[in-house]
């Protein structure tokens, strides 16, 4: 704050925290001060009082005065031009969305700024500054050397680092060999700066008009030029990590020797089993080969035979390699390996850790989210060929088409003022204010696709008024009387109302002019981190929840789309009975039906009738727990048997032709009759242990008692051998 005593404003700056500030009467920065005497001019000055109220105070009672009007808002908010013309809700969105902007490959500082861009960029520490004055003697992509009177200063540059958001942190030198520097000069731009100024987006030629319904509900139509010229392209880096741990069965191993993998799929791995730097990878490709020991499994007779013939003990490992996730990919730019042997500090149980960094260039695409600085956000609905975009009278096609209905109800008029002032600035109205070198102006002209773009600053609360913007358009018209673009100016009208700022546009497809004139100008557009590549997701089959047997949810789990209560109502309302049945059974938790359906699809047959979903069985159990005996009846009135997923015993017994229903086991403890023995049913010993009779199919098994609790599993397996797909050693046949 500036100190005020006796109504006179001094240049002494005082810093107050919120608690101290509350004790004083403080005038706002826009209070009128006499330039000669430095006194407050007005008899009554608008202030905020010690009580926190807005009051009118006499100049002698004022104790402090704000330094700048923008100091009452945050840095992000102060970067919004024409902030005072925006509704507070939209200004809030605009401030927050600047934090979500993706650093672009080609950075452009805004042509309509607030004057805070340079300071904001420098204070982030994103740019490299000269520590002391000197001359640049060496410069390349990796470092800059500056010769000073005390010797050479070395400035290393960060290259292709990954931010926590997966975007790029990267330095680009902007000085040349032999450049003379002062202390504090910018040597290299960061990923979001342009010549030391904050550059979060791109200056694009915008038209406010409907376009064949494609900008309904805030959707945005873009020109293909932005895709071709990489105007809104960005680089994203994904980090993939895998560790090799010690397990009960042995150590996991990072290796190139992976079972059941073709040599082709291993072509990009080095001898350690780690992908080489520079490899192009797509979804499902191997990044790091890893094998995990698996427990000794029981072998089938066929496997035993093969082992016996070829005398080889196949490696008991399974493939747990790191693969590129579904829908991702790019170029491997870095690999980092850590190991306990090398002395790296790893978490307990981890022996080795590998991190792979994969970079990908993402051009702008349908479904990406764009926004201006005024809370005017939208999703790209269509990218139109350059030749089909509406064009100006001088033949320039526009870059972006926004819906005019996005302005009135949102009350963020700042975007319209920015568009008009952007037009004037891009066409050199403020050229005399600029001190940019000639080549810089040429570079901007190519980027912005305008004749003489000169940036202009309009600080929050203290910048250009609607009258100034109107006058800037009039100045452009007067400076370019021969321009093919006809802007109507009525000099007789009062300031601020001399021109509408609208120009004639032509249909790109037919070449005919549109019926009405259209607001066209330059707006600063940001590409936000909500990218369609990260959100698009599709699932055929995938993981199911253990508890409910329903598919998991969300892209990270490769889950399905939730079909909720209200969606069910929608299908009911349409009478789409079969679709609804499918949704609630084979596409959800009908465990039997979905396997049969998958089989039918693979074989090209018709899909069978669905069976009972798991959730219905849960409902029955709930009702049984309330002592309700529930019977499920079919259409014909016959009772439907709702079978639980039997345990392994029952299923195996059924396959072996053994009847383990409760009725057959009631005979425990009595001698079986001769008829029972003849019919080959179970014999139940006096002491309750069941043995199996001799049978043509099973061979003589009388000597094997199936009580795995006592018998060693491997011996039982050796004695019995597999029967069908069921190992008798797995059967727990207890009374």
- H or E element at residue 632: strand 632-633
Nearest to 400 by CA among 112, 201, 208, 200: 208
Per residue, the 3-state secondary structure of 462-508, as one string, reads CCCCHHHHHHHHHHHHHHCCCCCCCCCECCCCCCCCCECCEECCECC
Q: pLDDT grade, residue 441 (50/70/90)?
A: low
Q: What does the alpha-carbon distance between residue 334 and residue 241 come to, in Å, rounded to a whole number? A: 12
Asked whether the beta carbons of 561 and 464 are under 8 A apart, the reply is no
CATH of domain 127-190: 2.40.50.100
Give me the mean pLDDT over the 697-706 stretch.
Answer: 41
Asked whether the beta carbons of 464 and 417 are under 8 A apart, the reply is yes
Pairing relation of β-strands 64-65 and 26-27? parallel
Per residue, the 3-state secondary structure of 352-379, as one string, reads EEEEEEEEEEECCCCCCEEECCCCCEEE
pLDDT over 90 at 300, yes or no: no
Pairing relation of β-strands 322-323 and 317-319? unpaired
Q: pLDDT tens digit string along 145-173?
A: 999 999 999 999 999 999 999 999 999 99
Q: What does the alpha-carbon distance between residue 358 and residue 333 come to, in Å, rounded to a whole number? A: 6
pLDDT over 60 at 660, yes or no: no
Give me the mean pLDDT over the 409-421 stretch.
Answer: 96
Q: What does the alpha-carbon distance between residue 317 and residue 315 come to, in Å, rounded to a whole number? A: 6
pLDDT over 50 at 704, yes or no: no
- So what's the pLDDT on residue 375? 96
Asked whether the beta carbons of 188 and 127 are under 8 A apart, the reply is yes
Alpha carbon separation from 446 to 173, 388, 473 (Å, rounded): 20, 21, 22
- H or E element at residue 223: strand 220-223
Nearest to 712 by CA among 688, 729, 732: 729
pLDDT over 50 at 697, yes or no: no
- Coil, helix or strand at residue 273: coil
Where are the strands (E) in 563-721, listed by range?
A: 632-633, 639-640, 683-684, 690-691
Q: What does the alpha-carbon distance between residue 337 and residue 357 come to, in Å, rounded to a whole number? A: 12
Alpha carbon separation from 322 to 49, 347, 356 (Å, rounded): 63, 19, 10
- So what's the pLDDT on residue 194? 93
Q: pLDDT grade, residue 515 (50/70/90)?
A: very high
CA–centroid distance for 475 within its chain: 44
Q: Cβ–Cβ contacts within 10 Å for residue 251, how many?
A: 12
Asked whether the beta carbons of 644 and 623 are under 8 A apart, the reply is no
Specify the range with the lowest mean pLDDT, choosing from 97-106, 135-144, 457-466, 700-709.
700-709
Q: What does the alpha-carbon distance between residue 192 and residue 160 come to, in Å, rounded to a whole number? A: 13
Query: Do 127-190 and 235-362 agree at the fold level?
Result: yes
- Coil, helix or strand at residue 302: helix
**Residues of the chain with pLDDT > 90: what percent?**
68
- So what's the pLDDT on residue 169? 96
- H or E element at residue 11: strand 8-13
Pairing relation of β-strands 180-181 and 193-194? unpaired
Q: What does the alpha-carbon distance between residue 31 and residue 4 come to, in Å, rounded to a whole number? A: 12
Tell me: domain 2-67, CATH 3.30.70.360, correct? no
Longest dimension (CA), the chain: 128
Nearest to 417 by CA among 10, 84, 663: 84
Q: pLDDT tens digit string along 589-604?
A: 999 999 999 999 999 9
Give me the mean pLDDT over the 692-721 stretch.
Answer: 41
- Coil, helix or strand at residue 645: coil
- So what's the pLDDT on residue 271? 93
Nearest to 430 by CA among 447, 452, 450, 408: 452
Q: pLDDT grade, residue 705 (50/70/90)?
A: very low
Contacts of 146 (CB under 8 A, 6+ apart): 130, 132, 134, 135, 136, 137, 152, 153, 155, 181, 187
Q: pLDDT grade, residue 547 (50/70/90)?
A: confident
CA–centroid distance for 94 within its chain: 19
Q: Which CATH entry fits the domain spanning 235-362: 2.40.290.10, 2.40.50.150, 2.30.30.30, 3.90.1010.10?
A: 2.40.50.150
Nearest to 101 by CA among 83, 117, 119: 117
Q: Which CATH entry fits the domain spanning 202-231+373-527: 1.10.287.130, 1.20.1050.90, 2.40.270.10, 3.30.420.40?
A: 2.40.270.10
Q: What does the alpha-carbon distance between residue 405 and residue 407 come to, in Å, rounded to a whole number? A: 5
pLDDT over 50 at 583, yes or no: yes
Alpha carbon separation from 592 to 484, 586, 639, 647 (Å, rounded): 72, 8, 20, 15
Q: pLDDT grade, residue 735 (50/70/90)?
A: very low
Task: Tell me which DSSP letter residue 308 carries.
Answer: H
Where along the chain do its domains lie? 2-67, 127-190, 202-231+373-527, 235-362, 539-640, 648-730
User: 489 pairs with which residues across the strands?
Assistant: 499
- H or E element at residue 145: strand 143-148
Q: pLDDT tens digit string along 317-348?
A: 889 999 999 889 999 999 999 999 999 999 99
- So what's the pLDDT on residue 186? 95
Asked whether the beta carbons of 356 and 277 are under 8 A apart, the reply is no
Q: What does the alpha-carbon distance between residue 480 and residue 427 come to, in Å, rounded to a whole number? A: 9
The residue with greater pLDDT, 631 or 431, is 631
Q: Cβ–Cβ contacts within 10 Å for residue 590, how many?
A: 23
Q: What does the alpha-carbon distance between residue 120 and residue 100 come to, in Å, rounded to a whole number? A: 16
The alpha-helical segments, DSSP class H, found in 254-315 are: 301-310
Give me the mean pLDDT over the 601-612 stretch.
Answer: 93
Q: Cβ–Cβ contacts within 10 Å for residue 260, how many?
A: 6
pLDDT over 90 at 573, yes or no: yes
The residue with greater pLDDT, 594 or 732, is 594
Q: What does the alpha-carbon distance between residue 44 and residue 32 come to, in Å, rounded to a whole number? A: 11
Task: Tell me which DSSP letter residue 351 carries.
Answer: E
- So what's the pLDDT on residue 387? 96
- Average pLDDT score, the chain: 86
User: 244 pairs with which residues across the strands?
Assistant: 352
Specify the range with the lowest mean pLDDT, choosing from 83-97, 285-299, 659-673.
659-673
Q: pLDDT grade, residue 674 (50/70/90)?
A: low
- So what's the pLDDT on residue 486? 92
Specify the range with the lowest mean pLDDT, choosing from 395-409, 619-633, 706-720.
706-720
Alpha carbon separation from 643 to 608, 629, 632, 652 (Å, rounded): 19, 15, 11, 16
Q: pLDDT tens digit string along 680-692?
A: 444 444 444 444 4
- So what's the pLDDT on residue 51? 82
- So what's the pLDDT on residue 691? 42
- If you classify domain 539-640 with CATH, what class do you get? alpha beta
Q: What does the alpha-carbon distance between residue 643 and residue 611 come to, in Å, rounded to a whole number? A: 11
Asked whether the beta carbons of 223 and 391 are under 8 A apart, the reply is no
Asked whether the beta carbons of 56 and 45 are under 8 A apart, the reply is yes
- So what's the pLDDT on residue 707? 42
- So what's the pLDDT on residue 659? 60
């Amino acid at each position: 704050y500036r100190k005020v005593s006796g109504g006179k404003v001094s240049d002494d700056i005082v810093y107050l925290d919120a608690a101290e500030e509350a004790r004083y009467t403080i005038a706002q920065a826009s209070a009128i001060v006499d330039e000669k005497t430095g006194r407050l001019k007005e008899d009554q000055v608008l202030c905020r009082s010690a009580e926190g109220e807005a009051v009118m105070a006499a100049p002698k009672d004022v104790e402090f005065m704000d330094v700048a009007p923008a100091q009452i808002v945050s840095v992000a908010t102060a970067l919004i031009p024409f902030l005072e013309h925006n509704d507070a809700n939209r200004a809030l969105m605009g401030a927050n969305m600047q934090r979500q902007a993706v650093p672009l490959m080609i950075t452009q500082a805004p042509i309509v700024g607030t004057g805070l861009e340079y300071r904001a960029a420098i204070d982030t520490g994103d740019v490299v500054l000269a520590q002391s004055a000197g001359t640049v003697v060496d410069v390349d992509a990796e470092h800059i050397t500056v010769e000073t009177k005390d010797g050479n200063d070395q400035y290393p540059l960060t290259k292709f680092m990954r931010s926590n958001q997966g975007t790029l942190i990267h330095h680009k030198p902007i000085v040349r060999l032999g450049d003379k520097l002062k202390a504090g000069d910018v040597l290299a731009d960061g990923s979001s700066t342009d010549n030391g100024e904050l550059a979060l987006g791109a200056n694009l030629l915008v038209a406010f008009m409907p376009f064949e319904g494609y900008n309904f509900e805030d959707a945005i139509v873009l020109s293909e030029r932005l895709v071709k010229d990489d105007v809104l392209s960005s680089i994203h880096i994904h980090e993939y990590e895998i560790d090799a741990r010690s397990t009960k069965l042995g150590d996991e191993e990072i290796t190139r020797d992976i079972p059941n993998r073709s040599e082709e799929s291993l072509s990009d791995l080095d001898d350690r089993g780690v992908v080489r730097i520079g490899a192009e990878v797509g979804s499902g490709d191997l990044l790091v080969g890893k094998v995990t020991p698996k427990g000794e499994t029981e072998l089938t007779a066929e496997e035993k035979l093969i082992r016996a013939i070829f005398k080889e003990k196949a490696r008991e490992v399974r493939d747990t390699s790191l693969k590129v996730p579904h829908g991702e990919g790019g170029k491997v730019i870095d690999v980092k390996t850590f190991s306990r042997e090398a002395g790296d500090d790893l978490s307990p149980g981890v022996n080795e850790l590998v991190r792979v960094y994969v970079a990908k260039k993402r051009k702008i695409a349908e479904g990406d989210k764009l926004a201006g600085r005024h809370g005017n956000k939208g999703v790209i609905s269509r990218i139109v060929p350059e030749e089909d975009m509406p064009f100006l009278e001088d033949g320039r096609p526009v870059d972006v088409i926004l819906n005019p209905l996005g302005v009135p109800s949102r009350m963020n008029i700042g975007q319209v003022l920015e568009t008009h002032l952007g037009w004037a600035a891009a066409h050199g109205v403020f050229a005399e204010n600029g001190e940019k070198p000639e080549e810089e102006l040429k570079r901007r002209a190519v980027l912005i696709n305008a004749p003489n773009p000169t940036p202009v600053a309009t600080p929050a609360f203290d910048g250009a008024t609607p009258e100034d913007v109107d006058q800037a358009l009039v100045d452009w018209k007067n400076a370019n009387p021969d321009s093919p673009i006809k802007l109507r100016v009525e000099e007789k009208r009062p300031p601020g109302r001399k021109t509408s700022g609208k120009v004639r546009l032509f249909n790109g497809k037919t070449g005919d002019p549109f019926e009405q004139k259209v607001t066209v100008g330059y707006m600063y557009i940001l590409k936000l981190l909500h990218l369609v590549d990260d959100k698009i997701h599709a699932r055929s089959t995938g993981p199911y929840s253990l508890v409910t047997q329903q598919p998991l949810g969300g892209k990270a789990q490769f889950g399905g789309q939730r079909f909720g209560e209200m969606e069910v109502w929608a299908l009911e309302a349409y009478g789409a009975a079969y679709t609804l049945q499918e949704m609630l059974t084979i596409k959800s938790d009908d465990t039997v039906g979905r396997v049969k359906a998958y089989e039918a699809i693979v074989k090209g047959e018709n899909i069978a009738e669905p069976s009972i979903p798991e959730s219905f069985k849960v409902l029955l159990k709930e009702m049984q727990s309330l002592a309700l005996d529930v019977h499920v009846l079919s259409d014909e009135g016959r009772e439907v048997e709702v079978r639980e997923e039997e345990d392994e015993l029952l299923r195996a017994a059924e396959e072996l032709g053994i009847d383990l229903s409760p009725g057959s086991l009631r005979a425990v403890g009595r001698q079986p009759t001769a008829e029972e023995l003849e019919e080959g049913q179970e014999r139940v010993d006096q002491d309750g242990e069941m043995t199996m009779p001799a049978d043509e199919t099973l061979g003589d098994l009388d000597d094997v008692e199936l009580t795995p609790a006592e018998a060693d599993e491997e011996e039982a397996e050796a004695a019995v051998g597999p029967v069908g797909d069921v190992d008798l050693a797995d059967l727990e046949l207890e009374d």
